[in-house]
Amino acid sequence: MTTLRATILAFIALTLTACGFTPMHAPAGLSDAAFNNVRIELAAGIPVQDKEAAFWVQQALKTRLGNGDSAKHILRVKPEANRAGIGISGVDVATRYDLGLNVSYELIDMKSGKLLDSGSVKAISTIAASTDPYALTAAEKATVRNLASDGADRVLVRLAGYYANAAQ
């Protein structure tokens, strides 16, 4: 009976690999040729307070797209982070903060310098304001990193839309 099960499982495994089956949550789609042709750049003039967010957005995009060694297009991003106190307590101190990241992007053809696509995406998260300043700083840094990842994903969705329409 065990040999029969092993044979059936082996047959199923071989059949699924031969049919082109890929797991639902497998990282797919971003290895397409269009995305391999993109080099990531940070826009000039990013203010000091936005440099950390810019670094994380750039890293998230490079993780998803690669280094763009044979790039035909430049993706120029300009992240802008902001923080707003919400939920003011009785002693006029914020109990929560809204952290936002606005990522403006431009897709540029390397040869002609022509602007192919541009836009802006926004990611927002709320954190609790700790009374410990170190805990608040750690929470802000972790949230900025998560927002950068979310912002990068939102830019890639927009680029996927651009490439899908450009191919038609």
Per residue in 60-114, pLDDT (tens digit) is: 999 888 777 778 899 999 999 998 878 777 777 777 888 899 999 999 998 999 9
Contact 86, 53 (CB under 8 A): no
pLDDT band at 6 (very low <50, low <70, confident <90, very high): confident
The candidate with the shortest Cα–Cα distance to 57, out of 39, 74, 78, is 78
- Cβ–Cβ < 8 Å for 121, 150: no
Note the pLDDT tens digit of each residue in 17-52.
Answer: 555 555 555 444 444 556 777 889 888 888 888 899
Q: What is the pLDDT of residue 133?
A: 79
What is the per-residue pLDDT for 23? 56
* Tokens describing residue 124: 């927002």
Angle 101-107-113 from CA coordinates, rounded to 5°? 135
- Its pTM stands at 0.74
Residue length, the chain?
168
The position carrying tokens 């750049």 is: 41
Residues 6+ apart with CB under 8 A from 109: 72, 73, 116
Cα separation, 68 vs 40, whole angstroms: 7
**Measured distance CA(20)–CA(67) in Å, rounded:** 28
**Domains of the chain by start residue, with CATH:** 32-166 (3.30.160.150)
Q: What is the largest CA-CA distance in the chain?
A: 73
